[in-house]
């Protein structure tokens, strides 16, 4: 995954090959985390770097030079704190063009015995069908194996059947934005080790094995996007992305209250809420008005008192609209009638007070707040929902890099680690 330059004691202790680097290219922040995979399928963070994002809009690169500069700085900060130099990184893919497809591939196994080659052929057929000049396959997830008329087969290799069917969930994205991401990382003198769609990564970073098994929807509320990932029976079954996020809330506050974006952001983080409290109408907040002098030195404009309830109403309207879009997208996915319906909210914008309650009201589900789990070594990571995607990228990398180890050591073949069966599934199927 990466090579260690010998500068860092912590990195040396982790052992060569165990260091994983991940870069979350977000609309508001670029985050780089470096971690070691621990024996029990966990992660130990050894370096973190964070920069304000520039050149990114709705998760896609719109200005290559400034995006690459921000990535370079975030990676450099993480490398310096870890005392390692990364060679490659796992990155997230966020775009309005993420699509989930379902396809079944039917094969006639040689001598009626399913082999690994059959699985590979099925996989290749999916790539042939979905890869084109315009679209790229990011994930191919086998969701069901059918041998003749027998369903619910866990592992078909070595089993007998005349007819072998694999049902896949295929995640694609537009090739242009994906190539831009690769080019951005290459400009930072790094290789792309793997790409993971952002909501999937956020799920890997915050969900428990049991939640994924029983069925859960992850909603990652970022600055310029809201990502959706649905997991059923331990597998990724659906992803979607809406190009609306917390920055829209800030813009609404700025335009409705005639204040600057910086003041609106401050107002949102310090006093904002998605649901009105009884006391909100009695409280006022001083909002500096927007003037032509805004930002310049001189006499500060007189702040306008605004009822806190007004602030909450503006925020509520945008959050409710976003969640209504999520609800209609979930309904269109066909999975909304699953028996165990729970939602986990994560991402920076999920931190608004009242977000869990409004989600429960609008989506009619149990909701909980999700933050990075299974990662130790850095307080700044595991208390911040903004780091969930980066943690998931690391977890994805850890599961893949332990593939060879998994076949050697009893600990790592165990399914009771951090990602449990889920990690096992990544090792085997991605």
Ligand X SMILES: Nc1ncnc2c1ncn2[C@@H]1O[C@H](COP(=O)(O)OP(=O)(O)OP(=O)(O)O)[C@@H](O)[C@H]1O
Which stretches of the chain bind Mg ion, using CB under 5 A? Answer: 26, 222, 389
In the shown chain, the binding pattern of residues 297 to 326 toward ligand X, with x for contact by CB under 6 A and - for none, equals: ------------------------------
Check binding of 377 to ligand X (CB under 6 A): no
Among 8, 55, 203, 222, binds ligand X (CB under 6 A): 222
Q: Strand, coil or helix: what is 333?
A: helix
Q: What angle do CA 235, 237, 241 make, to 5 degrees?
A: 125
Residue 351 site contact among Mg ion, ligand X, none (CB < 5 to 8 Å, cut-off depends on kind):
ligand X
Instruction: Among 38, 351, 359, 399, indicate the residue that binds ligand X (CB under 6 A).
Output: 351
269 contact choice in ligand X, Mg ion, none (CB below 5 to 8 Å, kind-dependent): ligand X
Q: Which stretch binds ligand X (CB under 6 A): 103-111, 219-227, 232-240, 306-314?
A: 219-227
Q: Where are the alpha helices (DSSP H) in 6-63?
A: 9-14
Q: Let me know if 120 is exposed, middle or buried by CB neighbors in 10 A (0-12, 13-18, 19+).
A: exposed
- Which residues pair with residue 89 across a beta bridge? 192
Residue among 391, 362, 396, 366 at smallest CA distance from 376: 391
Least spacing, CB of residue 403 vs ligand X, in Å: 28
Could you tell me the strand order of the sheet in which 226-232 lies?
235-242, 226-232, 216-221, 342-346, 366-369
Q: Which of 18, 22, 23, 28 binds ligand X (CB under 6 A)?
A: 28
Contacts to ligand X from residues 266-285, by CB under 6 A = 268-269
3-class DSSP assignment, residue 43: strand
Task: Name the minimum Å distance from CB 330 to ligand X.
Answer: 19
Which residue, 53 or 218, has its beta carbon nearer to ligand X?
Answer: 53
C-alpha to C-alpha distance for 284 and 280, rounded to whole angstroms = 8
Is residue 126 within the footprint of ligand X (CB under 6 A)? no
The encoded tokens of residue 360 equal: 């429960």
Q: Taking a C-beta distance cutoff of 8 angstroms, is the pair 2, 18 a contact? A: no
Minimal CB distance residue for Mg ion: 222
263 binds ligand X (CB under 6 A): no
Q: Footprint of ligand X on this chain (CB under 6 A)?
A: 26-29, 53, 59, 94, 222-225, 245-247, 250, 265, 268-269, 347-349, 351-352, 386
């Amino acid at each position: 995954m990466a090579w260690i330059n010998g500068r860092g004691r912590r990195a040396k202790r982790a052992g060569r090959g165990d260091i994983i680097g991940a870069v979350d290219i977000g609309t508001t922040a670029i985050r780089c985390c470096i971690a070691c995979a621990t024996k029990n399928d966990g992660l130990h963070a050894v370096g973190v770097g964070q920069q304000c994002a520039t050149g990114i809009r709705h998760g896609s690169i719109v200005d290559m030079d400034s995006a690459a500069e921000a990535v370079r700085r975030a990676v450099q900060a993480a490398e310096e704190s870890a005392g390692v130099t990364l060679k490659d990184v796992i990155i997230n893919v966020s775009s309005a063009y993420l699509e989930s497809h379902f396809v079944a591939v039917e094969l006639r196994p040689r001598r009626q015995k399913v082999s690994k080659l059959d699985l590979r052929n099925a996989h290749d057929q999916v790539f042939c069908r979905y890869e084109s000049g315009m679209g790229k396959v990011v994930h191919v997830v086998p969701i069901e194996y059918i041998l003749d008329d027998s369903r619910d087969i866990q592992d078909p290799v070595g089993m007998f059947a005349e007819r072998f069917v694999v049902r896949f969930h295929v995640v694609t994205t537009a090739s242009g934005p994906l190539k831009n991401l690769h080019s951005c990382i290459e400009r930072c003198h790094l290789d792309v080790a793997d790409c993971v769609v952002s909501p999937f990564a956020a799920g890997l970073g915050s969900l428990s094995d049991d939640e994924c098994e029983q069925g859960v929807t992850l909603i990652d509320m970022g600055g310029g996007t809201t990502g959706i990932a649905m997991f059923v029976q331990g597998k990724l079954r659906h992803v979607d992305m809406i190009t609306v996020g917390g920055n829209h809330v800030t813009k609404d506050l700025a335009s409705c209250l005639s204040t600057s974006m910086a003041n609106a952001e401050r107002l949102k983080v310090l006093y904002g809420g998605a649901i009105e409290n009884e006391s909100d109408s009695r409280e006022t907040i001083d909002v500096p008005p927007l003037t032509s002098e805004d930002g310049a030195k001189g006499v500060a404009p007189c702040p306008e008192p605004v009822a806190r309830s007004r602030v909450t109403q503006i925020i509520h309207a945008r959050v409710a609209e976003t969640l209504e879009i999520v609800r209609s997208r979930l309904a269109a996915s066909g999975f909304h009638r699953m028996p165990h319906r729970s939602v986990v909210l994560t991402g920076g914008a999920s931190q608004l007070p009242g977000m869990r309650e409004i989600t429960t009201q609008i989506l009619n589900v149990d909701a909980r707040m999700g933050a990075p789990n299974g990662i130790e070594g850095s307080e700044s990571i595991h208390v911040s929902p903004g780091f969930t995607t980066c943690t998931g990228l690391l977890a994805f990398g850890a599961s893949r890099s332990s593939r060879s180890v998994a076949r050697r050591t009893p600990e790592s073949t165990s399914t009771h680690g951090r990602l449990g069966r889920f990690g096992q599934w990544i090792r085997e199927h991605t």
